[in-house]
Structure 1
């Protein structure tokens, strides 16, 4: 387990307390049943911003606190325990990182300050199919005078239904370029999607959306230089959230072992279940080590960061999948019902596994990086 500073410990404890008191799993149930919520309430996002969470990776000169990805990972782990749905990943992590790495001074002043204050939600619009593949880009930016016109469609944009602005990857003359466009720009339309886990995504269409040089993030034709490190930060942060969710699922299952009786004995005394619980514990500890190493590497700008990130995301995708399955099975019949939380953890595992690359995607990426 990582050694935390006093500030990090206080922030983690505050996040745990807030999540348990203000955002228990029952809140997710209500959001899931409210098909118009978009996945979370803006009031929740504003509350998080007031606690400083929205600006954890944003420099102080733009209203943030500049505490880095390890610190944001601590918050995401705690909110993951209660399956809290918010803009932390889409905005505090993805959108903020893109702007910090490649935004112009004007873009930073306009949008980073709004993110830090909770007055804006940003969304990364990069995927165009059911599978995560940021290199496969068909959305095109055609030259139009001094600017461009964006045309095409992005799929499964995280928090896209509530976004105030999009960061869009598009084909340009000699590569991929990132553009920032307001969600209310002429030609932008979105179709809200409610995912299996109750989170909100959206398909976003761009019909000759006008963008200019001032909307470019990074360099023209070189958007991957900003996008790839941003996605690594997103994957590591999501892995931290998955770690929190999987840990809570495991702890809930252990508590059930201590109260459920079968054949006149507590089921926790059955050796077969003890072995399965032992495997889950080991996998969770391995996952924690991978996640902490990835977040640390990102903060230190280590050349091994991308490899460690794929290791963490692959490990946590597999571990959360296993633990959520075992949670349902070990709870027996009640675990199959919607009245119990087990199903919510399983559904969250399935969606989180596919977001920003599945375990298979990251195993392949890791293997290529290691020269296999």
Structure 2
């Protein structure tokens, strides 16, 4: 298979790299102005209809730039869920608002005490013309800044997905920052919502499918971070002097950087192998994504950790950029299932 970027993909990569370097990570509206919020949305809703290759290219550049904000959660995972599950009369309007950046939705999928299981303890019960939602959702990226939450809840006979307005009474929000400095929130839900806020009563398969897309995007994000950390380390060794010589002149350090490059390249191969799996069966896709996840995060922690080590004491400071790649890898590994979870999924798939 030819993995060479076509002209449009090359333009996407180059423009994203320039924009993120100049804008310092940019804003949600900036992403909308660039058209990035529409990459995962279908053309019939005003989106660009991009596939996994385009999403991986963009998220790789975001990882390189340490871009803040929940792009993967809001512009990939949430967009895919609305596209696949919302009723036809609501789908187009919701997607158009999300593409324009005027409505920010983030998924609320995970709960305390059940690790990465997607069958929720949050319960939805029919009450009159609506539903009563009760439960707790955790680790919602940028949840406090969102306009709405896409909440999974158990219904009789399945798992439903509900659209919940962020400011509606009955929502208790606790905000905090993760180790890598990103905003996160936990929610306690005890509220009644209209029946038309149920996007789907059979949402579990669509959630699994969309999560795999988000997982591969996060692997691409890690790849971009590794590449940047390696570039920073190589440049640092060329300028730092020790014992009267540039550190880059020591053969052992040259070999260390070469090993980092080889390790990162193995992750690139894993991402490229996983992209075509999205056009095949679910089992093959899940195995490809989990294999990519395990290789990516075992490698990312090793590569970014060694990059910090080779910088010496300055690499551990919060003011210096290279340490943030390590922190991002540590937090990201636990976003959509850790290495142990994906090893088990791969073995049992």
Within a 5 Å distance, the mapping from 1:246-261 to structure 2 comes to 246-261=226-241
Residue of structure 2 in register with 1:155 after alignment: 138
Residue of structure 2 in register with 1:282 after alignment: 262
Q: Distance in 2 between matches of 1:169 and 1:67?
A: 26
- 2:322 aligned with 1:342, yes or no? yes
Q: Is the 8 A contact 1:99 1:107 kept in 2?
A: no
Residue of structure 1 in register with 2:197 after alignment: 215
Mark the CA change 1:290 to 1:325 in structure 2 (over 3 Å): closer, same or farther: same
Within a 5 Å distance, the mapping from 1:1-372 to structure 2 comes to 2-23=3-24, 44-129=27-112, 132-212=115-195, 214-218=196-200, 220=201, 222-298=202-278, 300-303=279-282, 304-369=284-349
Q: Distance in 2 between matches of 1:251 and 1:265?
A: 20
Provide TM-score, normalisation by structure 2: 0.94
Q: Distance in 2 between matches of 1:209 and 1:156?
A: 23
Q: Is the 8 A contact 2:129 2:194 kept in 1?
A: no
1:198-232 CA-to-partner distances (Å, cap 9, x unmatched) read 111110121133241x22233x2x32111100110
Q: Give the CA deviation at 1:240.
A: 0.9
How large is the Cα RMSD of the aligned pairs? 1.8
Greater displacement, 127-136 / 80-89: 127-136
Q: Give the CA deviation at 1:2.
A: 2.4
Stretches of structure 2 lacking an aligned partner (at least 5 in a row)? none
Q: Distance in 1 between matches of 2:183 and 2:344?
A: 28
